[in-house]
Structure 1
Amino acid sequence: MSNVLVRAAQGLSLAEKRIMSACIAKLDSKRLPDPTRPLVTRMSASEFAETFGIDTNTAYDELQAGAKSLRERLIRYEKPGRKGPQIVEMRWVGRITYAKGEGWLELSFWHEVVPHLIALRDRFTSYKLSHAAALRSVYSWRLLELLSQFKGTGLLRIGIDEFTHAMDAPISCRANFKDLRRRVIEPAVQELIEKDGFLIAWEAKKSGRKVTGLEFRFDTNPQTSLF
C-alpha cells in the first residue's frame, strides 16, 4: 500500500484489519487501474480461517460482522494546502456483499483508495501477511506497517502527533504519554518481538519536558524473512 495510506488513520478494528489486509493481499499489485470497472476481491470463510489460524465459525462471524461495519470505515490523512494542511477523508469500500449461506464476503474498493493499492511505482510499503496473521492487537499490526516502511534503514523517526494518528490511539493516550506507552507502544513492541522475531529498541524524544517524537531502531531475526 502507499506510504500515505500506511501513515493514515485507518479506523479499523483488528477483525476489520484482517479482512481488509487479506483482500488487499489478493489484488494484483501490478494491475493498472481501470476507471470504468470497480476493483473487487472476494474472501471465503475457509480462506480467512486458514490465513489467520482461527476456526471456521469464528471466520464466519468476523466476515459477517465486517460486512456490517466496513462500509462506514473512513481513512483520514492530511495533505499540504495553500493556507495550511487539508484534512482528507475517504471510504475503504463502496460496496460490500456477504453471502450468508455460502460464507464469503466480496469488497468493491472505493475508487479513490484504488491508486493507494495497485500500480504503485514508488513510495509504497509491503510486508508478508503471514507475519501479521499471528498478531492479536491492531496496534501491533499498525506498528509493523510503520516499521516496514523503513525496513531498508532499520530506523523510524516519527512525530508524536503523527504516530498517535497512524495508530488510532485513544484520546486518553494522546493526552497522556504514560498511557500511550503502557497501552499502545510497549504491548505492540513486545508482540512484534515475541511473534515476529523483531529486535526493537525505542525511545521518546523530548523538547523540554514534553514528548514530541519517537525513535525506533529495529532489526529482524536473520532466520526469519519478514518482508
Structure 2
Amino acid sequence: MEDIIPRDRLTGSLRRGAVKKHVAAIHVSGKLTLLQRKLSNVLLLNAYDTLVSQQVHRIDAKTLCLMIGYNSNDMETLKASLRGLAETVAEWDMLDADGQQEWGVSALLAYAKLKGGVCEYAYSPALAEKLNDPKVFALINLNIQRRFTSGHALALYENCYRFVRTGSTGWWSLELFRRLMGVADSPYYETFKHLNAKIIKPAVAEVNKTSNIVVTPEVRKMGRTVTDIRFRIAENPQLAILDLDDGEGLRNSDVYARIRALGVSDRLARQWVGEHGEDYVRQKLDYIAGQGGVKNAVGYLTAALRADYGNPEPAAAPEVSPRNPSSPRARRLGRIQELVAARTPTQRDADRRLFLSQLEGAARDDFERYGWMSALNAEAIRAFWEELNPGAFDGMEEA
C-alpha cells in the first residue's frame, strides 16, 4: 500500500506526463503479507470519506473479513494482521505546498481494537493528511486487489499504479526497490539474479495478467552491476473497464441510495456499483431483502456480491439447443457457456458490459434479452471470446 496516485485526479502538469518532484511518495517499510496489504487498503477505503474530519473509524469485523477474503469467524488472523499494520512504518519525503522539504514517519495504524464485533481503528493525524491527498496517495480498486495471489505482485502494482499517466516510475535504486517489495532484510535478494528470478519476473507476470496496467521493467547498470530499476507502464485495455468511476453519476442511482441506506460509506458504495454494475447489485439487494431477518445486511451483501447469491436462470434464448446436439453450432454455444462459467462473477459482469457497449439497436436488445446465447450477435460473440481466449473455437467449424 504505497506509492500510488489515482489517475482520474491528476491535474495540471501531471496530466502532461512529466514526473515532478513535488509528487510525493509514501514508502512502507517492513514485510507486509498479501492479507495485510489487502486489509490496509480496505481499512483506508472504509475511512476515506472522513479521513481528516474524524479521528476514529469503525467497520463491522465480519464484514471486514469477508471483504479481505478469509473466514469471517477467524478473529485471530484478523488480530494478527491488525497488529502487523500497527507495527509497520510508513515514511514520506516530499516538498510541501510552500516548496519546503518535509520528511515524516508514522505507524500505518495509530491503534486498532476489536470489541462487540466491531473493528475500531485510527491513523495518526500526519499520515491521515497524506493519505487524503490525491497527489500523494491513491485508493486501490478492491475488485482488482482481489485478483492478486502474491503480496509482491500487489506491492509492485501499488507502487506503479500512480505513474500510469506519466508512463514510467522513474529510476529506483535497487535498495529502495527491495524495501518496497519487503525483501530488504534478505541477503539472498542482494544478488540481482535472485531478485529478478524470484521477485521481479513473477510479480510483473501477475500484474500484467491480473490488473488494469501492463508494466515492463528496465534496468540501469554501472559496469556489469545492476544499480537501478524502473518500470514502463501502460493501460491494460482489456481490464481498464474495472477502473472506478469517481464521477457523480453513480450517486444518482437508486442502487447507490439503497447501499448507503445500509450504512456503507460513499466511497465503498460507488466502488461496488462501479465494479459489479447496477443490475447485478440491485439483484443482490433484492435477494437480501427477500430473506427477512438479516442481522448484518452489509456483511450479507458483501458475501452475496462475491459468491453470486440468488443468481437467477437466464432467459431461454431461441435455438440454444439445436435438434442435433453434436452440430458445430451446438458445440460452439456449449463452448461459450464454458468460457463464461470459468469467469468470476465480477469478470462476467465486466465482460457483459464491455460487449454491450459495442452494440446498438436490435443487436443490443437481443443481447440484453438472451445474453451470450443471442443468435443475432452470434458472430460478434464468437469474435469477442476468441479475442479473450485465442484458439477457443479451433475445430468447431460451422456447418
TM value normalised by structure 1: 0.78
Percent sequence identity is 21
Instruction: Encode CA deviations 1:161-197: one digit per residue, 9 max, x unaligned.
Output: 2222222224325521112112221121122123226
**Distance 1:162-1:48 versus aligned 2 partners, 3 A rule:** same
Query: Which runs of structure 2 are paired with 1:140-219 in the superposition (5 Å)?
Result: 140-159=153-172, 160-170=174-184, 171-196=186-211, 198-219=213-234
Q: Are the counterparts in 2 of residues 22 and 43 from structure 1 also a CA contact under 8 Å?
A: no
**Separation in 1 of the partners of 2:93 and 2:136?**
16
SS at match of 1:211: strand
Q: Which has the higher helix share?
A: 2
Q: 1:75 offset after TM fit, Å?
A: 1.9
Q: Are the counterparts in 2 of residues 172 and 179 from structure 1 also a CA contact under 8 Å?
A: no
1:19 is aligned, of 19, 35, 39, to 39
2:108 alignment partner AA = W
Instruction: Encode CA deviations 1:42-76: one digit per residue, 9 max, x unaligned.
Output: 23343234323333245x34312224333322224
**Separation in 1 of the partners of 2:61 and 2:166?**
38
**Separation in 2 of the partners of 1:200 and 1:154?**
9
Q: 1:24 offset after TM fit, Å?
A: 0.3
Instruction: Encode CA deviations 1:125-184: one digit per residue, 9 max, x unaligned.
Output: 343122112212221111111111111133223222222222222432552111211222
**Distance 1:32-1:15 versus aligned 2 partners, 3 A rule:** closer
In the other structure, the counterpart of 1:33 is 52
**Separation in 1 of the partners of 2:198 and 2:79?**
29
1:149 alignment partner AA = R
**Distance 1:113-1:19 versus aligned 2 partners, 3 A rule:** same
Which structure has more relative contact order (CA 8 Å, sep 6+)? It is 1
In the other structure, the counterpart of 1:47 is 63
**Separation in 1 of the partners of 2:84 and 2:139?**
26
**Separation in 1 of the partners of 2:38 and 2:71?**
14
2:57 alignment partner AA = T
**How large is the RMSD of aligned CA atoms in angstroms?**
3.0
Query: Which runs of structure 2 are paired with 1:214-225 in the superposition (5 Å)?
Result: 214-225=229-240
1:141 alignment partner AA = L
Please identify, of 195-204 and 210-219, the stretch whose mean Cα deviation from structure 2 is larger: 195-204
**Distance 1:173-1:25 versus aligned 2 partners, 3 A rule:** farther
SS at match of 1:142: helix
Aligned residues: 215
1:98 is aligned, of 103, 114, 117, to 114
Q: Are the counterparts in 1 of residues 93 and 103 from structure 2 also a CA contact under 8 Å?
A: yes
**Separation in 1 of the partners of 2:135 and 2:213?**
25
**Separation in 2 of the partners of 1:222 and 1:64?**
38
**Separation in 1 of the partners of 2:129 and 2:94?**
16
In the other structure, the counterpart of 1:7 is 27
Q: Are the counterparts in 2 of residues 6 and 145 from structure 1 also a CA contact under 8 Å?
A: no
Q: Which has the higher strand share?
A: 1
Unpaired runs of 5+ residues, structure 2, are: 6-22, 96-100, 244-399
Q: Any runs of at least 4 consecutive aligned residues in structure 1 with deviations exceeding 6 A, and if so which?
A: none
1:89 is aligned, of 86, 89, 105, to 105
Q: 1:79 offset after TM fit, Å?
A: 6.1
Q: 1:23 offset after TM fit, Å?
A: 0.7
Q: 1:87 offset after TM fit, Å?
A: 7.2
1:137 alignment partner AA = S
In the other structure, the counterpart of 1:132 is 145
**Separation in 1 of the partners of 2:170 and 2:224?**
19
Please identify, of 186-195 and 215-224, the stretch whose mean Cα deviation from structure 2 is larger: 215-224
SS at match of 1:42: strand
Q: 1:18 offset after TM fit, Å?
A: 1.9
**Separation in 1 of the partners of 2:154 and 2:26?**
11
Instruction: Encode CA deviations 1:62-116: one digit per residue, 9 max, x unaligned.
Output: 3122243333222245569xxxx997532122221113x62x3221112221111
Q: Are the counterparts in 2 of residues 6 and 146 from structure 1 also a CA contact under 8 Å?
A: no
**Separation in 2 of the partners of 1:173 and 1:78?**
28
